[in-house]
Chain A
Amino acid sequence: MAARKTSKKPNVSADELKQFYRDMLLIRRFEEKAGQLYGMGLIGGFCHLYIGQEAVVVGLEAATKEGDKRVTTYRDHGHMLACGMDPNGVMAELTGREGGYSRGKGGSMHMFSTDKHFYGGHGIVGANVPLGAGLAFSDKYKGNDNVTFTYFGDGAANQGQVYETFNMAALWELPVIFVIENNQYAMGTSQKRSTSTPDIYTRGAAFGIPGEAVDGMDVLAVKEAGEKAVAHCRAGKGPYILEVKTYRYRGHSMSDPAKYRTREEVQKMREEKDAIEHVRELLMSGKHASEEDLKAIDKEIKSVVNKSADFAKDSPEPAVEELWTDIITDIAPQNA
């Protein structure tokens, strides 16, 4: 990787740095495997890979505490892995099998874990933004200091309901962090061609919501910004916006013609800005890890991912009776 300007010494322990490396690598290898299984016909439908954006969720998860909630869009595999959901359950949901988080009934875009306070996985662009504010509303109503991370993209940032939500979140001082994962392309439309302002976070100013831009390819910068936003929300000061500038290496979904940007642009990002390489470099240059240490982590991650793929292939399809279950329930849901 080319030299990156890191102005200050990372405020992070060697162990934490290694953990970031491991967590980001897990997402990348998992997604590569998912792409492979898609190509083999084992995963169907829509499948949106998170490759390139790993530092966003890993950095922000480092700023959370137990009880905090998260909700996101359809590009959700990374968020699930980062908040500690089981790779086997995620991969088996991608293959539509009984062992998946939704027993095969949700798919890539619709998984949930009340244990890990992960509230989906939503396929309608922008719709998860009021849902996240509603989760934050429930915490404020109950009087605890939990925070909800509501992730959405630069594309979703143009939906009307986002601004309806900004207004109410500010009005009611909801403890919600709006994380705009700006990967620069709304499907195939670049930010320049879709969005009137270059810095989306400034749009919160109209509602009195503070916001800032963050280098989404630097996991340490993301964590630091996350901690600041979390402190703001926990102190009862209302919502906060983080516009995390990131980049997706793969297509919007698996069926992406890749005609809207150049190969050189993608290659340049990979070579100069890659978030995993960045941490790798920090580990090596700080002598926190040897080549062998990192190889051992690579091997361990590869094994976790391969196991998840095996699990996802071996898990049976859901029983046909599942067609008719979970439509309505008689039992009060164990939400929150």
Chain B
Amino acid sequence: MWFNGTADHFLITDKIEKDTININTLFGSYDDPNSKIIPIKIHRGKQPYDLKYKTLLQAKLWATEKGEGAFWIDLNWDIALKIGMEYVGLPFSGQYGFINTKAYLPVSHMVSKSEDAVSCRECHNRNNSRLKNVPGVYIPATSYKKNINMAGTALMLLSLLGVLGHAALRIRASYKRKKLSI
């Protein structure tokens, strides 16, 4: 997607208003001269959120020992969320649900070898361009204007038919003349 190097983040104090929230939002667009197209991975998840306050919740995730309430160790959301929110000093109503989230991760590892670099045709082809869903940009061979190409081809075919027809008439006329003069 288009990315100009700046991004927004969903803060733990932000209010949740719709079903799927973006953990981060990458800014950029075709018209923005500072934007480039970058490859991303969309990390989809479900995060706990406070049903009353409509905010995301921070769970305590890690501890070295069992019994300290860390989610990854004790596997209990109620305790982990309570302890976690106390730690960050934010309110927790005790009632929580899970909400769909998306995080847009710029791809910085798993980069392929140079031999596997994309060829021109992978983007510049008529039907199956890698960039066919990128909005706003004109891509030669992909942003194919059907009407113009059809009209142009029709014009050429008509010209061809025209000259062939004209030539045929001339040949016929000449043949008739020859017949008559015998």
Q: Do they bind each other?
A: no
